[in-house]
Structure 1
Amino acid sequence: MPEHPFPTAPEEDRTLSPHTGYSRAHWEATADRLLASALRYATPGHALIDLPGPPSKSGVRSDGLEGFARTFLLAAFRSAGASGKDPHGFLERYTAGLVRGTRTPGRDDAESWPEIRHHGIQGQPMVESASVALALRLTAPWTWDTLPAADQDRVEQWLRGALRHTPAPNNWYLFPLTVAGFLESAGRGDAETRHAIERGLALLEGWYQGQGWYSDGDGRSFDHYNGWALHFYPLLHAHLAGDRALLDELGPRLREFLDGFALLFDANGAPIHHGRSLTYRFAAVTAVALGALTGQTPLAPGATRRVLSGALRHFLDRGALTADGVLSLGWYGPHEATLQRYSGPGSPYWASKGFLALLIPPEDPVWTATESHAPVEGPDRALALPAPGLLVQTTGADGLARLHNHGSYKLGPGEPERAPGNPLYARLAYSTRTGPTSASNTPDNHIALQARGLRSARIRVNPLAAGPDWLASWHRPVFPEGGPVLPSARIESLTLARGRLELRVHRAVAVPAGTPVHHSGWAVALAPGAAAETEQAAEVRLDGPEVTSQLLGLYGWETQRAVRAPQGTAYGPWALVPELTGTVGADPGRTVFVALASLTGEPGAAPLAGQATAAVDGLAVVVRWADGARTVVDFGTGVPSVTEEPA
């Protein structure tokens, strides 16, 4: 295949799509470009796609299968969305690779696929089996149905490895469900396939927490897997199978999920930067596309396309592709801290899930209606989601979304808490324009105690209370090795959103008097050596190219400064972090700390000084806002409570 077989991208259509310029043709052209670039790295028999880059922990052979499976899914969305049209012959190559890879699974040669084993013991192929099975289900008339019976039998035998081995205790149980769904659609269902489907759906039911949110396994892991896995696999299975009962059960959950989740896409198209596997990038729009495909969405068609195309263009415009058209391991360009141990060169191609949008028919209003504003571009919003413990905060003037975390963490029920924790889960807040600092740098959006020269981590986040515009949680301060264990110690934290402002209140419980406390705000990627500005030594202010971060101590804090983060964030190689420092006292009022934070994309943001004042009476915090309104946060009732009085 020639290196540049396709024309350049279509011209922008600013009449149909005034915000992004993208039409369905841009999605198709992007899919073609991604496939053509990836297929250049296929083995001679097309069974593996060995993309350049460091291997994952699963090894090169598994990575080659990953490259095949995830791009096969992209080719399936592309062709199925075009009613089987495949002008570039992509499916022919994938069908040939499918036959070659399953001819002698497990053999140590140039083409054979690894066998599917248990999670932790050659388990990664189970993940990829779901992409293979779903791609076959979508393209059966042009792939599966063209195979001789003997080849079909070998493919089936390989796929059944996913039904006979143990998945990871989370969304992995939906991979056997997806495999079983394909086999049943191909007339090869039996008790084994039915068990895999019923088991997956039963576990899913146990993980459902309400408000459209599933935990990724037991515990409280809430992140993008909720959209691109936990909603995606079972609801798409129900849609393809025409299972009305299952659609009626799962569909409304997706609709409710999208009510809040759709707010977490920036006006510039960026999804929220929170949780693992962020290198999947525009896969974040999978649930938005699924809602439109199944009719389970609160979004108007023009708003749906605004979110879909906004995310796709956001990454394409910011260097997600290497010079040869391959998706890099990172966020914009390569970024190691965005990755996990399971990330290999083919991993970013789970971004293919975003191309589920191509299954929406070309004549659907999602593609024909005029593109409208994204949900984030509406009025300022503060939306508390107590089920996952997440507070969504958006501001229409700058189109910026923030996510305050008071309930999500990546830790199984029986796993011990160990510092420093995972920066992609442990922070108090995340946004669409900032990323967390690395685990070895000063953490952003964090509250920590200091003892023996070490700072504590926030790992398991326990919800405490909620209101319409606020959430509260507590955590046990955990020190790195060499640090103390403080019996019964905990830190209670509350965030209240008001326009662009964030009221942050913390209480130290059973913490020895004299213990230093550090609280940080939003990290900003800046040019190396940049300095922070202060407003008469009152607040720390960081003016970046796209955002301004501000942090002001209202009560309990003694000093403020900006701390360097030389490993930077996903948004730049070097960053600064605003930080406040105080000391825990013996009196109840000296155990409470109050701060005002802000992250904004509006230029010339007004100083925080003067926006609010705080006074503390025992364990009650009284905040008076500049407009005359009053907020009382009371920790003295056992569970934090908030009373708000308008101006």
Structure 2
Amino acid sequence: MSTAQVATRTDWTRDQWTAHADRLLAGARRWASPGHGRITPPGAEGGYGNAVDGLEGFARTFLLAGFRIAGERGQGVDDLIDFYVKGIATGVDPDATDRWVRPEEHAQAKVEAASLAVILDMTRPWIWDRLDARTQERVIGYLTAIVGDTTYPRNNWLWFRIVVETFLRSVGGPWSAQDIADDLGRHDSYVRADGWIADGDERSFDHYTGWALHFYPILWSRMQGAADLSGGRTPNDVAALDRYLRDAVALIGADGSPLIQGRSLIYRFAAAAPFWAGVLADVPSTPAGELRRAANLVVAHFDEIGAPDAQDLLTMGWHGEWRRLAQSYSGPASPYWATKGMLGISLPADHPVWTAPTAPLPVEAGDDLRVVRAAGWLISGTQTDGIVRVVNHGTDHSVPGSSVGDSPIYTRLGYSTATAPLHDGRAWREPLEQTVALVDDGGRASHRAGMELIDTRIDGEVAVGASVADAHWIEPATVQNRHGSGITGDTTPAGRILTISLVRGPWEVRLVHVEAVGSAARTLRIGGWPLAADVAPAVSADASTARAVIPRGAGRLESSVRLLAGSGTAAIIERDDASPLGSVASVPVIERDARAADEWTAVLVTLDGAGTGDVERASVAVQGGQAAVTWPDGVATTHDLTLFRSATPTDR
């Protein structure tokens, strides 16, 4: 889709939103069990088994059904109400063959219990109040198992207990004030700068910040009795969301693609959830019309590329089915957490958001350059091609100093709305795209997880970031936990690498200095953006420049690397069936002798969908701690590299 087509796309009306919701619900409900207690779409059984799959299908579509019912104030949706009332009665019936897995039987039920509680509260007059006394008692008994539970993971799961216990309190069930106080305190310990929230104690920044850690506080604040429990915190939660959304809207491409980064990407348009949360909270800094447009672009993006599919089902993948993108625990109904992105339909037709003037996203309005200090990100969005790029110096789903493998979905140096990190088994063992790695004689590439974020800042019209990594090789352990973190195993030091990024428009000047090198290191490899398509990208490489090109809408998308300073040779490395965006992926790289004379290596890394500038014009000179850059469009800038390290080496 061309940028011009994107710019003229008309936002959906509320009727179109509800029609889309009805389509999703109809597709899923066809796979309901006789008693409606489980919904199990076709597909490979998830890692937690068929019974959990069925519970996920009920609970996650119940989110969407609840939004639909609440938005109509219970009018004209009797069939939907009847379906889920029957399913609830079946789910909590201990003798039903399609009953729900209970929280004490499997931890995943604690996740799904949160969806049940939020929607039972949101639709109280139309569903909870219609349940007979025995069923209400059974629901309370089902949810009670979570009270006092100390086995919740230290991440966004804390909100699952908060919302369940808040609902229990509202219906006279057991609850614990200490549980809620502890969980709110834990949430606050994850809060970082500028409204960003880490998904746990690690440097885990991804879509969970928006679709969980900001989403639930806003819904919780609207639950019955929550005001009694909040201790007046809601204005601070809204202020944090307000600040976060100023960055979140800048992470959506003009074609509606969210940033392809982080775990649980099969949830797809759940990425729209924080925008609707912002509308509910009436945040002051981002207009309602811009939030509605951001949500609309995301949901419409996936609708246009086949999610839901021809059977009106959401599959495990990104554009289409691609099972490798899922985590080990994911099942055929897991993708229905995407329905969080449909929260807006809970707002009735007379809500002012539906008539608010449309406002463009930052990448639609012009070129956008900013930093996210908490995540160590440099963000560059370019209006001409509608692409948003992130250069990453601070997120690795780990902690500083750790020696785990690089997670492809967290630790790469770059992510964008037009490319996807490679995601096959090899990608977890051997970092390639968007990396700076030391490679040994056996072809093992080093990992950088545990790196030290030095700084991110705006320097005139250039975003600058830096990190230093104790690079290490890893021998993977036999058993791995496939929840998004990098692989574990025995590690061997490979060297110490300083990387500084200068980012402007579609370009990054990547400055690399190997401060220490292990005896086994043979090659320093600098990888660029991965391009993937079902037809192999067109590639070329000469001594200094490697380039890959694929069609994109009416134009083309180019990824290239060009050596600007130091020694090295350009090449293209290809991988098959390694990307959710296509069966063949190509990565341009620069490689040099790891043990060459101490020097800066400078590479121009480009991801360009508009043919901007001429990479052959680019140059860089590093001397005395200063980097003088001439960019492909002829603009010249100078940067003080000593600001990013007290003892930055000078070229020798």
| TM-score normalized with structure 2 length | 0.89
**Equivalent in the alignment of 1:137:** 121
Classify the secondary structure of the residue corresponding to 2:223. Answer: helix
Give 1:541's aligned residue: 547
How many angstroms does 1:77 deviate by? 0.5
Match for residue 411 of structure 2 among 419, 426, 449? 426
State yes or no: 1:94 paired with 2:72: no
Give the equivalent residue in structure 2 for 1:628. Answer: 636
Q: Spell out, residue by residue over 1:443-471, the C-alpha distance to the aligned partner (whole angstroms, 9 max, x if none).
A: 21111101232111232343111212222
Aligned counterparts of 1:458 and 1:91: Cα–Cα separation in 2: 51
Partner SS state of residue 162, structure 1: coil
**2:511 corresponds to:** 505
Residues 516-552 of structure 1 deviation map (CA, whole Å, 9 limit, x = unaligned): 1001111111354444134x64322222112211211
SS at match of 2:453: strand
CA contact (8 A) 2:446 2:471 kept: yes
Measure the CA separation in 1 of the matches of 2:649 and 2:503: 15
Corresponding residue number in structure 1 for 2:49: 59
Deviations 1:451-509 (A, max 9, x none): 23211123234311121222212222121329996659322222221122212122222
Letter in 2 for 1:633: L
Q: Does residue 153 in structure 1 map to residue 137 in structure 2?
A: yes
Match of 2:274 among 263, 287, 310: 287
Note the residue ranges of structure 1 that are not aligned, 5 or more in a row.
1-16, 643-647
Give the aligned residue type for 2:291.
T
Equivalent residue number for residue 112 of structure 2: 128
Equivalent residue letter for 2:123: T
Q: Corresponding residue for 1:201?
A: 184
Q: Secondary structure at the match of 1:598?
A: strand
Separation of aligned partners in 1, 2:514 and 2:446: 13
Match of 1:110 in 2: 97
Change (3 A) 1:213 1:624: same
User: Please, which moves more after superposition, 394-403 or 224-233?
Assistant: 394-403
- Residue 561 of structure 1 aligns to a residue whose secondary structure is strand
Change (3 A) 1:55 1:279: same
User: How many Å separate the matches in 2 of 1:164 and 1:252?
Assistant: 30
Question: How many angstroms apart in 2 are the aligned matches of 1:46 and 1:71?
Answer: 12
Q: Find the counterpart in structure 1 of residue 528 from structure 2.
A: 521
Question: For 1:451, which of 431, 440, 449 is the aligned residue?
Answer: 440
Look up the equivalent residue of 1:222 and give its one-letter code: F
- Which residue among 385, 410, 413 is the counterpart of 2:372? 385
Name the counterpart of 2:4.
none
Give the SS at the match of 1:489.
strand
The answer as to 2:30 corresponding to 1:40 is yes
Q: What is the CA distance between 1:587 and its match in structure 2?
A: 4.9
How far off its partner does 1:628 sit?
3.3
**Which of residues 216, 235, 257 is equivalent to 1:233?**
216
Q: Give distance in 2, aligned partners of 1:628 and 1:270.
A: 32
Q: Does 1:169 align with 2:154?
A: yes
> 1:607 matched to which residue of 2?
614
Aligned partners of 2:273 and 2:284: how far apart in 1?
12
Contact 1:258-1:297 within 8 A present in 2 as well: no
Amino acid at match of 1:567: D
TM-superposed deviation, 1:247? 1.7
The answer to whether the 8 Å contact 2:438/2:495 transfers is no
**In the alignment, which residue of structure 2 is the partner of 1:270?**
257
Assess, with a 3 A threshold, how the Cα gap between structure 1 residues 362 and 607 changes in structure 2: closer, same or farther: same
Q: Residue 313 in 1 paired to residue 321 in 2?
A: no
Residue 178 of structure 1, aligned match among 157, 163, 166: 163
CA contact (8 A) 2:325 2:423 kept: no
- CA RMSD, aligned part only? 2.5
> CA offsets per residue over residues 251-278 of structure 1, 9 Å max, x none?
1100110111110111111111000001
Quick one: which amino acid aligns to residue 312 of structure 2? G
Q: 1:522–1:599: 8 Å Cα contact kept in structure 2?
A: yes
- 2: CA distance, partners of 1:65 / 1:361: 28
* Alignment-derived partner of residue 346 in structure 2: 359
1:600: Cα distance to partner? 1.8
Secondary structure class of the residue paired with 1:92? helix
Change (3 A) 1:517 1:633: same
SS of match in other structure, 2:434: coil
Q: Secondary structure at the match of 2:371?
A: strand
Cα distance 1:168–1:485, how it changes in 2: closer, same or farther (>3 A)? closer
1:551 to 561, 568, 572: 561
Matched, 1:341 2:347: no
Output the CA distance in 2 between the equivalents of 1:239 and 1:504.
Answer: 47
Q: Distance in 1 between matches of 2:491 and 2:217?
A: 43
Instruction: Name the counterpart of 2:604.
Output: 596
Instruction: Give CA-to-partner distance per residue, 1:82-109, whole Å, 9 cap, x none.
Output: 11124351121111111111121xx7x6
Q: Structure 2: how far apart are the matches of 1:486 and 1:49?
A: 47
Structure 2 residue matching 1:508: 3-state secondary structure: strand
> CA 1:355–1:641 in 2, change beyond 3 Å: closer, same or farther?
farther
Counterparts in 2 of 1:280 and 1:527: CA distance versus 1, 3 Å: closer
Q: Which amino acid in the other structure matches residue 422 of structure 2?
A: T
Which amino acid in the other structure matches residue 385 of structure 1?
A: V
Residue matched to 1:8: none
Aligned residues: 611
Instruction: Provide the rounded CA distance (Å) in 2 between the counterparts of 1:402 and 1:152.
Output: 49
| 1:281-307 deviations in Å (ceiling 9; x for gaps) | 111011111011111252223222211
Identity of aligned residues (%): 34
After TM superposition, the score normalised by the length of structure 1 is 0.89
Q: Which position in structure 2 is the counterpart of 1:437?
A: 422
Task: Give the drift of 1:640.
Answer: 6.0
Higher mean displacement: 370-379 or 163-172: 370-379
Query: What SS class does the counterpart of residue 83 from structure 1 fall into?
Result: coil
Give unpaired runs (5+ residues) of structure 2.
1-6, 477-488
Q: Secondary structure at the match of 1:577?
A: strand
The CA distance in 2 between the partners of 1:423 and 1:339, in whole Å, is: 13
Q: Deviations over 1:385-443 (max 9, x none)?
A: 112212211111221111111111223689x6333x32111210100011011241562
CA contact (8 A) 1:52 1:345 kept: yes
Moved more, 613-622 or 429-438: 613-622
What SS does structure 1 have at the residue aligned with 2:321? Answer: coil
Q: Which amino acid aligns with 2:506?
A: R
Aligned equivalents of 1:92, 1:200: Cα separation in 2:
34
Q: Which letter maps to 2:348?
A: P
Task: Answer yes or no: is the 8 Å Cα contact 2:470–2:493 preserved in 1.
Answer: no
Q: Is the 8 A contact 2:537 2:550 kept in 1?
A: no
Read off the aligned partner of 1:393 and give its amino acid letter: S
Distance 1:520 1:45, change over 3 A: same
Deviation at 1:569, TM superposition (A): 1.6
Of the three residues 71, 90, 93, the one matched with 1:81 is 71
Distance 1:46 1:640 in 2: 64
Partner of 2:482 in structure 1? none
Q: Cα gap change, 1:237/1:397 in structure 2, threshold over 3 Å: closer, same or farther?
A: same
Q: Does 1:616 align with 2:616?
A: no
What one-letter code is carried by the residue in structure 2 that aligns with 1:522? Answer: W
Shift of the 391–83 alpha-carbon distance from structure 1 to 2, 3 Å rule, reads same
1:566 maps to a residue whose letter is D
In the TM superposition, what is the alpha-carbon distance from 1:378 to its structure 2 partner?
2.0
Letter in 2 for 1:43: S
Alpha-carbon distance, 1:641 to partner? 11
Partner of 1:495: 501
1:331 corresponds to: 318
Within 2, Cα distance between the matches of 1:463 and 1:508?
16
Counterpart of 1:6 in structure 2 is none
What is residue 563 of structure 1 aligned with on the other side?
573
* Amino acid paired to 1:233: Y
Q: In the alignment, which of 342, 363, 371 is matched to residue 358 of structure 2?
A: 371
Tell me, in whole angstroms, the C-alpha distance in 1 between the residues paired with 2:623 and 2:649.
15
The CA deviation at 1:365 is 3.4
Distance in 2, matches of 1:410 and 1:586, equals 32
Structure 1 residue 135: Cα displacement = 1.1
* SS of residue in 2 equivalent to 1:458: coil
